[in-house]
């Protein structure tokens, strides 16, 4: 309707009948504007130009008939109500016309039914248009939702209360290995979940989805029998008994975590082995140093005890020139042999002189002054002098510390 006016196209060859129809509608309180036609050409032309809100048509005209007009109207403007208004229509013919697409029929001698029939027809048009608008909006919304649902990067399904898959997206097809037509309405999604016994239970528990599985890592078996690790989140759709289930494949992440953990264990084992080897090496080096120190002490002690005293005694004898030369050679070579040991003692005993090192070594071995005099062929006064110097250099000159005990502690 334009501006609240009801536009009526009347197919009628009798002008007075058309006027009666228009008057009947006006008396019913309708604001109408009508256009009368009586030929096929004018009917087709006014359908487009006049653009009626409703069509009132006689059944039979001299050069045109209502059935042909109905076919044209259904083709060109199927949403415009078409009501037959005729002088005589049998019940069977009227039913046949309704089956062919007519909205209603009214007999000319009962025009009081015309206004209610027109109102009812217009109401049906409005309801049909509203319903069509709602359906179009629903289809658009469903298409938009389906597009988003189908193109999400996570395997997602909508399931019924009994866990039957209602809708599955492309990612779930990839994850499961099944085509959508083999999933929707046919598969229970719990059949893909591996139970603790290695089998696929129909349901994890009867309370699902009222108490849905959410945020859990589950094992998912696909069509090829491969086990995939999936992070599953399920949420019930309010007031429907259905639920949305998303399954994120984390298999590769699990493999990477396992490989990283295994590598860490291997590195920890190697680190522990290296630490043990390092400890063993330190022990061996310590033993070597101890053995070396013990060997030095043994060599020096044996030379002083077993060799030097006799060399000193030989030097006191009346030797001929050759014998004296041999003794000197032996003493020189012996000093060369023990010189590395003497250098070590020098570093250990700070800035002691060679003679003080000899005296200190003999004191540490427990030799008395008398024994040192004989071994080194020096006077007792000289031995006492060296002992005092040794005590002074070690900072124990004016203490009661026992020199031998002190020297033994340095050795340890």
**Do 18 and 135 fall into the same domain?**
yes
Q: Where are any strands of DSSP class E within 5-50?
A: 6-11, 32-37
Provide the residue count of the chain.
412
**Do 198 and 104 fall into the same domain?**
no
How many domains is the chain built from? 3
**Do 107 and 31 fall into the same domain?**
yes
Fill in the DSSP letter of residue 145. H
pLDDT tens track, the chain, 412 positions? 655 789 999 999 999 999 999 999 999 999 999 999 999 999 999 999 999 999 999 998 888 989 999 999 999 999 999 999 998 778 888 889 999 999 999 999 899 999 999 999 999 999 988 998 888 888 887 777 777 777 777 899 999 988 999 899 999 999 999 998 999 898 998 889 887 444 444 444 443 444 444 578 898 999 998 899 998 888 888 888 889 898 988 888 888 888 888 888 888 888 888 888 788 788 878 877 777 767 777 777 777 777 777 777 787 877 887 787 777 778 777 776 766 655 555 555 557 887 888 888 888 888 888 888 888 888 999 889 988 888 888 888 788 788 888 878 765 5
**Do 169 and 208 fall into the same domain?**
yes
Residue 211 maps to a domain: yes
Residue 28 maps to a domain: yes
Residue 299 maps to a domain: yes
**Do 160 and 133 fall into the same domain?**
no
**Do 158 and 119 fall into the same domain?**
no
**Do 326 and 371 fall into the same domain?**
yes
Strand partners, 10: 36, 56
**Do 196 and 170 fall into the same domain?**
yes
Strand partners, 156: 246
pLDDT of residue 29: 92
Q: Give the structural domain span for 58.
A: 6-143
**Do 225 and 299 fall into the same domain?**
no
Residue 272 maps to a domain: no
Fill in the DSSP letter of residue 87. S
Core vs surface per residue 126-158: b (16+ CB within 10 A) or e: eeeeeeeeeeeeeeeeeeeeeeebbeeeebbbb
Residue 262 maps to a domain: no
Residue 1 maps to a domain: no
Distances (CA, A) of 390 to 107, 188, 364, 407, 412: 150, 98, 12, 10, 18
Sequence-distant (6+) residues with CB within 8 A of 166 are 157, 158, 159, 160, 184, 185, 242
Given a contact cutoff of 8 angstroms between Cβ atoms, the answer to whether 183 and 168 are in contact is yes
Residue 121 maps to a domain: yes
**Do 162 and 123 fall into the same domain?**
no
Domain of residue 74, CATH code: 3.40.50.2300
Question: Can you read off the two tokens belonging to residue 136?
Answer: 């179009």
**Do 398 and 308 fall into the same domain?**
yes
Domain boundary among 120, 143, 166: 143
> Of the candidates 87, 109, 103, 4, which has an alpha carbon nearest to the alpha carbon of residue 54?
103
Domain boundary among 143, 166, 192: 143
User: 104-107 and 227-237: which strand pairing?
Assistant: unpaired
**Do 186 and 306 fall into the same domain?**
no
Domain of residue 228, CATH code: 3.30.450.20
Q: At 161, is the secondary structure helix, strand, or coil? A: coil
Domain boundary among 143, 166, 193: 143
Residue 278 maps to a domain: no
């Amino acid at each position: 309707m334009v501006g609240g006016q009801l536009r009526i196209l009347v197919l009628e060859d009798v002008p007075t009948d058309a006027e009666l129809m228009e008057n009947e509608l006006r008396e019913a309180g309708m604001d109408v504007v009508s256009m009368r036609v009586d030929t096929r050409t004018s009917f087709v032309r006014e359908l487009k130009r006049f653009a009626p809100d409703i069509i009132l048509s006689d059944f039979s005209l001299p050069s045109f008939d209502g059935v042909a007009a109905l076919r044209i109207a259904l083709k060109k403007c199927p949403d415009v109500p078409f009501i037959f208004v005729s002088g005589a229509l049998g019940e069977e013919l009227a039913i046949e016309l309704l089956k062919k697409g007519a909205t209603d029929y009214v007999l000319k001698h009962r025009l009081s039914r015309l206004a209610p029939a027109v109102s009812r027809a217009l109401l049906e048009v409005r309801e049909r248009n509203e319903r069509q608008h709602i359906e179009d909006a629903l289809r658009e919304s469903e298409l938009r939702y389906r597009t988003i649902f189908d193109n999400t990067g996570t395997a997602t399904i909508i399931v019924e209360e009994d866990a039957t898959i209602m809708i599955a997206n492309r990612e779930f097809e990839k994850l499961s290995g099944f085509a959508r037509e083999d999933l929707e309405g046919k598969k229970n999604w719990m059949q893909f979940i591996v139970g603790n016994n290695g089998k696929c239970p129909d349901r994890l528990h009867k309370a699902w989805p009222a108490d849905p599985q959410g945020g859990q890592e589950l094992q998912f078996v696909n069509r090829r029998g491969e086990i995939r690790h999936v992070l599953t989140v399920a949420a019930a759709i309010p007031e429907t008994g259905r639920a949305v289930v998303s399954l994120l494949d984390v298999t590769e992440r699990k493999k990477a975590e396992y490989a990283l953990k295994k590598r860490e264990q291997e590195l920890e084992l190697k680190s522990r082995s290296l630490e043990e080897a390092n400890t063993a090496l330190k022990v061996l080096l310590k033993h070597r140093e101890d053995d070396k120190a013990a060997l030095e002490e043994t060599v020096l002690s044996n030379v002083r005890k077993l060799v030097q005293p006799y060399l000193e005694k030989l030097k006191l004898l009346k030797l001929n020139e050759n014998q004296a030369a041999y003794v000197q050679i032996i003493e020189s070579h012996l000093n060369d042999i023990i010189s590395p040991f003497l250098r070590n003692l020098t570093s250990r005993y700070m800035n002691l002189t060679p003679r003080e090192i000899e005296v200190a070594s003999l004191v540490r071995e427990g030799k008395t002054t008398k024994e040192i005099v004989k071994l080194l062929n020096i006077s007792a006064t000289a031995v006492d002098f060296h002992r005092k110097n040794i005590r002074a250099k070690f900072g124990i000159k004016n203490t009661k510390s026992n020199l031998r005990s002190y020297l033994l502690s340095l050795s340890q």
